[in-house]
Amino acid sequence: MKGDEDRDEKRFKRVIGERYQKRRGETARDEKKRRKVLRHKERNDRREMNRDWSQEDTRV
């Protein structure tokens, strides 16, 4: 039955998530958030570098 499969899969994911959490000391959500923050920080750094380059070009 479909419902049983879904429930088993959710239980499986939760157990794996709990193991992961114990090992890392953080939840999967924390990990996801940290990756998102890093990705955005990298994007902003690239934008700033590009802006710096373009300003140098206009000054010359």
Q: What is the pLDDT of residues 20-56, one digit of tens each?
A: 666 666 677 788 888 899 999 999 998 888 887 777 6
Q: What is the pLDDT of residue 49?
A: 86
Q: What is the pLDDT of residue 4?
A: 73
Report helix angle 28-59 to 2-24, nearest 10: 70
CA distance 32 to 39: 11
pLDDT above 80 (res 19): no
Full residue range of the structural domain in which residue 30 is found: 2-59
pLDDT above 60 (res 5): yes
Cα end-to-end span (Å), the chain: 71
The count of residues in the chain is 60
Number of domains in the chain: 1
CA distances, 58 to each of 13, 46, 47, 53 (Å): 54, 19, 17, 9
